[in-house]
Structures are given as C-alpha cells and as structure tokens.
Chain A
Amino acid sequence: MDKILVTTIGVFGIIFTYWFFLMKKDKEISASGSINVVVEGGYSPSLISVKKGQKVTLNFLRKDQNQCLEEILLPDFKIKKYLPLNKVVSIEIEPKEAGEYGFVCGMNMFHGKVVAK
C-alpha cells in the first residue's frame, strides 16, 4: 500500500517537475527604445521582442542577492557587465539581423533572449 502511494506521488512529482520547469512558456514583451528588465530569480521579462536594425536599451535592475546573477552577458554583442545590487545598468544593443540574441548570467544558469523581427 505504502509503495503504491509513494510511487504514485513520486511519479506525479516527476511529471509536475517536468511541467513546472520545462513546459513553461515565456511571455513575449515587445520593446521599442528601451525596456526595464528586473533581475530577480531570473529575468523578467525574459523574452523581449524588438524590431531588427533598431537600437534598444535594456535597463537591468538586479534585486536578487544571488551571486550567479551579478553578471550579465550578451555574447552576441560581446558585452559582459557587472550588475550592482539595486542599481540600474543600461545596455544598448542593436540587433542588425532578425534572430534570437540570448542574454545569460555569469554562470550560464539563467537565460533570457531578445528576439529581433
């Protein structure tokens, strides 16, 4: 009886984990000119759509003390910046071509992206 209960709860837990973490859909926020990105347990918004060839300023504000989030990297633009706690750091980018441009934390654990259309 215990085994059936544990197995059922466990399998449910596995399915829940899969659904919770891997099936989430990011809400796409479109930006023109500039957009504020709050850094707390990840990036919100984490999916930003912009028009290709247009300059956009990402204003990062880190509210999270986690060391992992203290650096922001935009490898496509060769940008690596330190994000001081509770202070806005503005990064201007210009995605020239349509496509996805990721931004990640220093340890590559948290991800976000700018989609140029």
Chain B
Amino acid sequence: MAEVKKTFPIKGMHCASCVGVIERALRKVDGVLSASVNIATEEGSVTYDSDIIDETKIASAVAQVGYQAILDQQDKDKDQEKIEKNKEILSLKMRAFFSLFLGVLIAWGSFPGVSNYAPLFLKNFWVQLIFATPVQFWAGLTFYRATIPALKHRTANMDTLVAIGTTVAYLYSVVVTVFPSFILSAGLEAMPYFDVSTIVIGLILLGRYFEAKAKGQTSEAIKKLIGLQAKTARVVRDGKEVDIPVEQVQIGEILRVRPGEKIPVDGQITEGESSIDESMVTGESMPVDKAKGDIVIGSTINKTGSFLFKASKVGQDTMLAQIVKLVQEAQGSKAPIQRLADTISAYFVPIVIMLALATFIVWFDFGPSPVLLKALLNMVAVLIIACPCAMGLATPTAIMVGTGKGAESGILIKNAESLETAHKINTIIFDKTGTLTKGKPEVTDLIPLNNHLKEQVLSLASSLEKGSEHSLAEAILGRAEKEKAELQNVKNFKAVPGHGIEGVIKNQSVSFGNRRLMKREKVDVSKAEEKVQELETEGKTVMFLSLNNKLIGLVAVADPIKDTAKEGVDALRAMGIEVVMVTGDNQRTADAIAKEIGIDRVLAEVLPQDKEAEVRKIQHEGKSVAMVGDGINDAPALAAANIGIAMGSGTDVAIESADFTLINKDLRTIAKSVKLSKRIMSTIKMNLFWAFGYNIILIPVAMGVLYPLFHILLNPIFASAAMALSSISVVTNSLRLKRVKI
C-alpha cells in the first residue's frame, strides 16, 4: 500500500454544510483513507492509497458534488497569479492615496499663496518631515526594492530614476529642516521640498495603479477564451449517462449533449442532430446545422437538439486549446518595429542619469540664482520625467489587445511579425477550390457521346474514381450512389497528377480526366468541342471519359461559390487590394467563376505544385502578396507568399505554414483581418511616436532648454504627472483596439 497525503484548494465552497458534503463524497471513494475539508482555508486534505486511486478520482468525486478541486499545478499557478495581481493593485492604490493625501497637506502648508490659508502646524517643517518620511520609505519602498538589487547587477530601470529623484528632493529638505543655518549660510532660503518628494511618489504610484488595472484588461480576450472551456461532460458508460470533469474524457468515448449545453470536447456526431452556435470560437454569427457524421467543436453551444458524439480530441488537442496556444504564442512574439525601442531601452536609463548630472552642472555653473536650488530641482525634474515604460509598453500591449480581438472574430495571428507584413499587403491570391468555392463539387451534367448510355458513362467514371483521392471523386461517387450506378472492378489503377486517372475495366482501358489527359492519351475530342465550350463558359469543370482511347462521354462538375465570396472580394477591392484567383481549372471555366465573383485577374490551369511559382512571379512584379488557401495542399504557396492565410477546415487550426488562420469559412473575414492588422500597426506606431516624442521633447524641457528664451521650467510635480499619464495613455490607446469595429 502506498499512502499519499494531498492538500489542495477547493473552489465553490460557501457554507459549513459544503464541508460535510465534500468530506462524505471523498470518503465514499474506494482507496481514500481519510478526508477533511477546511472552510476557512478553502482546502481539502486527503490521505489515499495511490495503488488503488489517483488524483483524477479525487477531483471527480469533488466535481460530482458540484465543487472544484484544484489538483492541477497550472490552475494553481493561474490562481496565484491572479491573487498576487489583485493584492498588488490594492496595495498600489492604498499607497498612492496615502502619499497623495499627505503630499497635498504638505503642499498646502508650503506652496506660496495657498499656504496663507493653511493651519499653522502644516507650515511647520518638522511636521512636514514627519508626513514625508513614511511616504518616502513605506509607500516608496517599492522603488528602493527595485533599485538596490538592480544596482548590484549594474543595471538601472525606471525605479532607479524615481528613487534617485525623490531621494534627492527628500534629503535636501531634511537638511533644510534639521540644519537651516547651513542652508542660510549658503545664501539660500531655508525652504524644504517635501511636497515634491511626496506628490511625485503619489502620482507615480497612482499612474502605476491605473496602468496595472488597464494592463489586466489587455489579456482579457485570452482569459475569455480559456473561460469558454466546459467544466463537465456527460459521458455514456455502460449504457448510463454520468457527469464527469471534462479533463477525464477519453478519446473515443460517447458523450451526450442536451439543448442549451456546452459541447465539452471536439468530436463527431454519431446520433441526432442540432443547431450549434459556434460564434465564440469561429466568430461566425449564424448557428450551424449539424447531423450525424458532422464535426462538433468543444466549447461551442448546442442550441436545439440533443445528440450523441464521439470524442476525437481532448485536453491540449482540442480546437479551443490550440487557439489559446496560438494566441498566447503570438502575444509572446516580438514585432520587428520594436527593435529600435529595444536598442534604446538598453541605454535609456543610464543616459538619463548622465543628462540629469549634466543639467545640475550647467544650472549650477551658468544658471540664475539661487543656483543650487534651481540646479537641484531641474535635475530632479529630468530624472522624474523620463519614462522608459511607455516605450516598453507601446508594442506589446497593442499586440496583446489586437491578437485577442482577432481571436474573438475567428482570426488567429501567428506572430507579431506577420502583423507587420500583413498591413502592407497589396495583392491577394485566392486558391479557388475550397476557398472561394464550397469545396464540395456537384455533378451538373452527364453527357454520353458516340451512342453510349448515360448509365455507362457514370458507371465507368465512378468505378475509376473509387480509388481516387481527388476532390471531384466525391461528387461523382455521390451521384453514382444516388443513381445506383454499378461500380466495376478496376485493374492497373493509376492517378496522373494534374491530369486525371486511368485504369483497366473488363480488359478495356479507361481514362477519365481533363483535356491534358486526353492529349496525352491521344484521344480526339474535337467533336465534343462545342459542347465543352458551352459548359465551361457556365463555369463548370468538364472531364472527359475515354474507352480504348475513344471519347465516350463528358462529365461536368461545378463547385458552388460560397455565399460570402463576392462580398469578401468587394471589401478587399474597396481597400485597394488587387484580387487574383489561381486554379487548376481551364481558362474558360476560371474566367466564368471569376466574373461571377468580381475578380479581374485569373491564373488558370495551374498545377498544384506550380502555385508556389505563381506566387513568386507576382512577388517579382513588386507586389506584396497574401495567399489564401485551405492550408492542406497549398502549404508551399502559403509559405512562399509574404502572408499565408489559411481558411479553417474542421478542427485543423494548427496550420504551421500560415501566418493567419481564419477559423470560419466566411470570406469577409479576410478583409477584416487585413483591416485589423492595419489598425494594430497604426496603434503601435501611434504608441511609439507618443512614447519617443514624449521623452525627446520633455526631457530637454525639464533640463531647461526653454528657460533662456521663454523662462519655462518644469516643476518636478508636473513632471511626475506627465510621466504617469504617458504610460497610462499608451496602454489606454492599445485598449481602444478592443472597441474597433472590423
């Protein structure tokens, strides 16, 4: 027996009766030796025999009575992160208001003008010292805590600047208070500047408080996605339906979903039908009707019917988990535009310290009197106004919010670099099949020639297609099934890529494919030419069937165009983007389809392996190209394009070669994704411009460059207000992306 004791947090407890319920549930489990639950700490403690049961059984027992045992380390970390964050935000708020309250009192007692109305005790320097000290060393402790270890590593940061700046103001004021005669002998007025040190600390803490709150919102989208995950699943085991935690669902298990419930994992419907709201995952607003054989996505909501489905993907493999992973990865990536900010940030703080020292020297040597005071205040202003944070926040916050926004609309962005390239796109190439069209071709015409029968044409064509993996095979076999055509045995089956298929049926050679195949097999098609042209101008793909090298029939197939194709293409053209269609179809068919959708440029009769070359050709014209495909057979073309856009099919979202993955099949999403990348980039540029501009303009002003001409100087208090505002404005500007309508 292996006795194990485990203590773990339990979520969802709110009264003492919960304790009894959970304890009883745990004790009932075979293998549990003892169990106790503590309401105060919201923790459970279980001793069990690990030879008999494992943690999942314990989690399941707790889940069955309606609570959640957090046995998973990741969940615990997430919770700890949240607790730490909240604690930190609260502490920032408290310290900010404490500092500002005392700071304002000190300012009331010392600011020329207003101090006339202040109570006498506030004007006392010793009282001001007593007020300023806890602000400096309790509220401002965070600045020292960050500065001292950093100095040990010979690095400096934002906090270093604030710590030096406020300490200088504080120490000067202490000297004024304790040794006024020393200051008077230097020819200065004995006036402390405790208001500067306290209000600066208060305002910077206040800024950080708002910044921390706003920053929390930047990762809201991903939290929302994670929150979509269903908690329990109803699995059919031994003919009975049992509720279990979703983590315990195994691949291959049959699950029941009732109306209004969340589908727990990915899978395929085995019984029943329903209408499913997939908007939370795909961004597609209309519910989708699904029946037996259709794929369902975990975390989407079942609207009307009840159905059974077989779990095909669980845990980290589900579509939602993949989406979360993709978005997290994108948020961890770096945009090339950030490089300049990176380089600068490495030198920024030391340079500001050097500039502050230089400011002191110049004001002391050449400034108007009182030189020491002016030199000191201007030096402090320089230290306080410099804001490297805004530069550091400019790009990542915009990417966080933007990629989250994308995920909400079914647009998954691979990394920040793709965003940067995407906003410069001026040409988009669409792969026709499965992208512009539904990818489910249907047989529209069956035309027998040379005295053959319609049934014979269908029988021969479908017999051959049986062994084919071509997308048209499904259409022909579907028709054969419908018309109950006879399927015959095929010998020597051969697929000729880009041409068609061949084989021997009843000792006669049969070929079925396009015009190229007929040419290759030296089959004369001239007599059927008129009919072929007619079908092709209708946008149909015509296939030729030959028996012993004689043409015996035509099969016309059309792939219905997606409802959103025209609107999607129009939206792109309205943005000034050239739209190109590439297809294996012949020129006439391709032209007909392109005309219907509104595409001007068509690349027809392109073999699958040549799509990549076509992309490169257009790139050589100096165009920045995006290629849209299904990501399966056009992966090389997607990779060759400046931006590869994969349109989702089923649950295959993890498409490596694509820069953008669109989960839904709505073509309007493409224009949306280009628009989103433009918006994100303009936000980043605006942020960087603001962050750089702010420092470039205000640091010299704080140094006093405007003083000789305009007598303008920056009070350190205003400097701290500006500093606090600058980081907040960068974060809020990024948050605006959340409200962008795309």
Contact = CB atoms under 8 A, between A and B. Distances in A.
Interface in A78-112: 78-80, 82, 84-85, 87, 104, 106-111
Main secondary structure on chain A at its contact with chain B? Answer: mixed
Contact of A65 (B142, B332, B354): B142
B365 interface: yes
Contact of A109 (B145, B330, B331, B392): B392
Given A78-B330, A107-B392, A40 B149 contact: yes
Contacts of A78: 329-330, 332-333, 415
A63 B327 CA distance: 29
Contact of B154 (A13, A14, A20): A20
A62 B196 CA distance: 33
Contacts of A10: 357-358, 360-361, 364
Interface string A33-52: 00000001110101000000
B77 A84 contact: yes
Contact of A106 (B149, B152, B159, B396): B396
B7 interface: no
Contacts of A80: 328, 331-332
Interface residues of B, number: 52
A68 B157 contact: yes
A44 B148 CA distance: 15
A31 interface: no
A112 to B, nearest CB: 10
Contacts of A66: 142, 145-146, 157, 159
A1 interface: no
Interface stretch (B112-120, B282-290, B341-349, B655-663): B341-349
B158 interface: yes
A75 B142 contact: no
A16 B702 CA distance: 23
Determine which residue in A74, A87, A110 has the highest number of CB atoms from chain B within 10 A of its CB, and name it.
A110
Contacts of B329: 78-79
Given A41-B146, A41-B151, A110-B157, A84 B365 contact: no
A68 B345 CA distance: 13
A18 B157 contact: no
Contacts of A87: 77, 80
B155 A41 contact: yes
Determine which residue in B146, B329, B389 has the highest number of CB atoms from chain A within 10 A of its CB, and name it.
B146
Nearest to B345: A108
B626 interface: no
A82 B77 contact: yes
Interface string A1-20: 01100110011011001101
B30 interface: no
Given A21-B155, A108-B342, A82 B81 contact: yes
A87 B346 CA distance: 27
Determine which residue in A18, A41, A65 has the highest number of CB atoms from chain B within 10 A of its CB, and name it.
A41
B387 to A, nearest CB: 11
A13 B357 CA distance: 7
Main secondary structure on chain B at its contact with chain A? Answer: helix
A2 B156 CA distance: 30
- Interface extent on A, as a size class? 35 or more
Nearest to A44: B153
A73 B332 contact: yes
A106 B361 CA distance: 35
B104 interface: no
B152 A41 contact: yes
B127 interface: no
A17 B389 CA distance: 21
Interface string B98-124: 000000000000000000000000000
Interface in B354-380: 354, 357-358, 360-361, 364-365
A67 B88 contact: yes
Interface in B605-639: none
B684 to A, nearest CB: 14
B22 interface: no
Determine which residue in B149, B346, B365, B389 has the highest number of CB atoms from chain A within 10 A of its CB, and name it.
B149
B410 interface: no
Contacts of B146: 41, 64-66, 68
Given A66-B142, A67-B88, A75-B332, A111 B153 contact: no
B388 interface: yes
B142 A111 contact: no
Nearest to A7: B361
Interface string B172-210: 000000000000000000000000000000000000100
Contacts of A74: 332
B602 interface: no
B341 A6 contact: no
Contacts of B152: 41
Given A3-B365, A66-B159, A108 B341 contact: yes
B331 A7 contact: no
Contact of A24 (B88, B154, B331, B341): B154
A20 B145 CA distance: 19
B212 interface: yes
Interface string B462-475: 00000000000000
Contacts of A106: 392, 396
A22 B349 CA distance: 10
Interface string B366-407: 000000000000000000000011011100100000000000
Nearest to B330: A78
Contact of B389 (A20, A70, A73, A107): A107
A46 B153 contact: yes
22 contacts: A3-B365, A17-B350, A20-B350, A21-B353, A41-B155, A64-B145, A65-B142, A66-B146, A66-B157, A67-B208, A67-B212, A75-B332, A78-B329, A78-B333, A78-B415, A84-B80, A84-B81, A107-B388, A108-B342, A108-B345, A108-B391, A109-B158
Given A10-B357, A21-B154, A106-B392, 13 more contacts: A14-B357, A17-B353, A22-B350, A24-B154, A41-B155, A65-B145, A67-B88, A70-B84, A80-B331, A82-B81, A84-B81, A107-B393, A108-B391
Interface of A: 2-3, 6-7, 10-11, 13-14, 17-18, 20-22, 24, 40-42, 44, 46, 64-68, 70, 73-75, 78-80, 82, 84-85, 87, 104, 106-111
3 A-B pairs with the lowest CB-CB distances in the bound complex, closest first: A41-B149, A80-B332, A75-B334
